[in-house]
Structure 1
Amino acid sequence: MAFGDEFVRLKYPWVLFLVLVVFLRSGDCYSHKVFEYDDVKNTANVTMADKIFPPYNLADFTWEDVNATLNHTTLTAEFNGHNVSAAGLFKNGSISFKVSAFETTGRDAVLPRLLHNANSSKMEFVVDRVVPRGNYSRFMLEMVIVEKKANHRVMKSIHSIDDEYTPSIFEMTELVAVPQNSSAIHSFVQWKVVAYQSSKYQHDDSIPCADHELQVINQTFPSNSIAGAYFSETLDNCNIASINISFGIAEGDYYKDHNFLSWSIMIGCGNPLEDTFSILVICIMAVGLGTPVLLLILGCVVVKYSDYGPIN
């Protein structure tokens, strides 16, 4: 797949911190995949799948011209891919990656409403109207991370008591790149542990996503891959790791019930973006915590200055 020159100029600033999240690349030995498995028992656990179908090799896909979707006003573009070898399954559907750049600090307009700034970019993975190969199909995405060996990557879960922006979701996963012998953070990848089964991105359409253990890959990329093209001769001095993200909940709906799946991540340089309480939440907390204290104080004052004597 080729990048348009315009897209390269638009997006490459956010990879200057030398970390690259790779979804699409060439070379049979190193191609990454979208997995589909038949979850007859409805456990949403890929290790208990009744059948794992041959994975979709993204290097074998035919990709539409990204320049057709490049929007300089909204700073967005889409990579829409189709599997030629399974054309019947992709007749009206596609697997796509939607990317967005930002000029200011703010939140995405749709759920999960990820926080962003000018040093971050959003990438959204979408499976839309692809015909499932099983009656109980679910999907899992393999994500690969490439970075300089001078860094080591730390993965952690961030919990919050505030679900104002993403209702019922109190957890975020972060992958941060930290230089050796330093506490400074060079880059990050973060996502809410939620995906959506409708392009309306409503709370009722949400399903959990699960991140599996980060695995080190002791291989390299071919020169004609995206990672090979960006890192060039320095690729041999990079760390490469992969992580699988699966989607769904036990006893929940299958992909065929909606024929749509969307999951978003934020990629950036510098410290990870942190959610803070909004003024509305602070006011609600102040009222909720302050009112009982105020009533207690008033009660003590009334008792102290009351004319009633002690009860024997």
Structure 2
Amino acid sequence: MAITRGLGRVVSVLVSIAFVVLTNGYTPKRQLNTYLNPDCTDECGGGLAYVKARGDEDTLHFVFTTVGTPTALVIRTNTLTDREHDKLSFNWDKLRSNDTAGAIFAKNPLTKVLYSYGIIFTRLFQYNDTSDDADLSHYSTSGPELTVYDFLADDTEWENLMDTSSDELIVLKIHQTDPTKSTVIVNGSLTIQFHLFDHGDRSDDLPHLEYNEDITHFDFILHDIDTGNMSNARYGVETIFFSMDTDKGDMAIEDVKSIDDEYSPGVFSINNLVSRPAEKANGGFLQWKPICYMKATRSRAAGTAVKKYGPQTLTVAEKMSTNFINNSIAYAFYKADKIGDVKMTYSNFSFGLSKDGFFTKNNYTAWTGSLGYGVPPADKISTLVIGVISAGLGLPIVLMVFGGVFVCVKKRFRKSTSPSFSENRIN
């Protein structure tokens, strides 16, 4: 009977383990609903994707678009009991006009905006790194060694995301840039894609960034670009990170060191651009590791460096006069009278490391980062590694202890069983 009960417990444990494995070991913490070109009945340009991530305590509204400057906007609101009418609304007449202010809004008066933040991708830089020092700051936009691709320019065409995106993967692709340039980006050679999640885990692809239900991962991918006469071509991208904060101090980039490279071999640091350095739990962040990959099949051998420049805080005058901002959905949401109060900082990122063969070696570069709310995830030694280390350090100690006990017991046993002198005397 006892054996039967024991067997039953074993079976129950095995069934539980199997259930966890088969269900990927997680329970969704947000309900994701994706809407492509919501409220648009006519020409939608490159398109707009809206993902409502509804949770028990709050709702995150992700908006991704190439209407205007390519932007990812995240709005955190309270969660309403009315599931059907707690969505954002989009005024496409305004989005298509020269004044987009107020084009994105919450129609339900019970919706309260708790926080908002996002990132704007403004320009791509292609430079001929003849000195092979992989430093974008050495080249001027007015010099012959650097070509600038303006993502807002009328001659930069984006593919309709309706044709490229799915419920949990939003893909923004350039169709073609200025055809009069010596080098032209065509046929989706530049892609910005965003991954949405309803649970927490790690990405399957290097650099294996951690994610949770409050985070979206992005991949900035360049491939099959005709670099023209730039045989030593490298690339960089300009971004603007923004949040609704006005008095929480300047944004800052933190370089967090790690002693463990389990998830990204050879990488011992992670960078966080945080909107509220003194109050991270209630702010937004941009996170990345200083590595990108020069092959679609990512590996340590295919890795090269990501170098950051900045951040530099924008003044009120710059925010009010910059076309990249005034033609973005950030302006459409915050409106003209509020955009000056929005905290903004711009940073450049370049891809490459001296003697890595330049972009032209494989004609491919992929950089991965995270856009999220709350405290940025930090690499920590996994349970598996802790177990291996514990076993490696503990097993010799255990063997020594048991070996010592065994020797002592054996000696004592021999002593207790040895015949005494009185027992062996000759009568």
The answer to whether structure 1 residue 129 and structure 2 residue 224 are counterparts is yes
Give the letter for the 2:126 counterpart.
E
Residue of 55, 58, 61 corresponding to 2:151? 58
Q: Which residue of 2 aligns with 1:288?
A: 392
Q: TM-score, normalised by structure 1?
A: 0.84
Deviation at 1:88, TM superposition (A): 5.5
SS at match of 2:165: coil
Higher relative contact order (CA 8 A, sep 6+): 1
What CA distance in whole angstroms lies between the structure 2 residues aligned with 1:66 and 1:135? 32
SS at match of 2:344: strand
Deviation at 1:64, TM superposition (A): 0.4
Q: Which residue of 2 aligns with 1:119?
A: 214
Give the letter for the 2:191 counterpart.
S
Q: Which residue of 2 aligns with 1:89?
A: 184
Contact 1:176 1:185 in 2 (8 A): no
Residue of 207, 213, 219 corresponding to 2:310? 213
CA RMSD, Structure 1 to Structure 2 (Å): 2.8
Residue of 277, 283, 290 corresponding to 1:186? 283
Q: Which residue of 2 aligns with 1:108?
A: 203
Deviation at 1:241, TM superposition (A): 0.8
Residue of 192, 196, 202 corresponding to 2:293? 196
Contact 2:46 2:158 in 1 (8 A): no
Q: Which residue of 2 aligns with 1:99?
A: 194
SS at match of 1:288: helix
Deviation at 1:256, TM superposition (A): 0.8
CA shift in 2, pair 1:55/1:183, >3 Å: closer
Residue of 216, 221, 229 corresponding to 2:332? 229
Deviation at 1:299, TM superposition (A): 9.4
Q: Deviations over 1:201-245 (max 9, x none)?
A: 222211111112211122125543222112223212112211111
What CA distance in whole angstroms lies between the structure 1 residues aligned with 2:234 and 2:359? 6
Q: Which has the larger radius of gyration?
A: 2
What CA distance in whole angstroms lies between the structure 1 residues aligned with 2:221 and 2:45? 20
Structure 2: give runs of 5+ residues left out of the alignment: 1-43, 53-61, 64-72, 77-114, 412-427
The answer to whether structure 1 residue 37 and structure 2 residue 127 are counterparts is yes
The answer to whether structure 1 residue 165 and structure 2 residue 258 are counterparts is no
Deviation at 1:4, TM superposition (A): 3.5
The answer to whether structure 1 residue 70 and structure 2 residue 165 are counterparts is yes
SS at match of 1:84: coil
SS at match of 2:152: helix
CA shift in 2, pair 1:80/1:277, >3 Å: same
CA shift in 2, pair 1:297/1:47, >3 Å: farther
Q: Deviations over 1:156-182 (max 9, x none)?
A: 1111122111111111000112277x5
Deviation at 1:146, TM superposition (A): 1.4
The answer to whether structure 1 residue 252 and structure 2 residue 347 are counterparts is no
Contact 2:270 2:289 in 1 (8 A): yes
Q: 41-50 vs 296-305, which deviates more?
A: 296-305
The answer to whether structure 1 residue 175 and structure 2 residue 273 are counterparts is yes
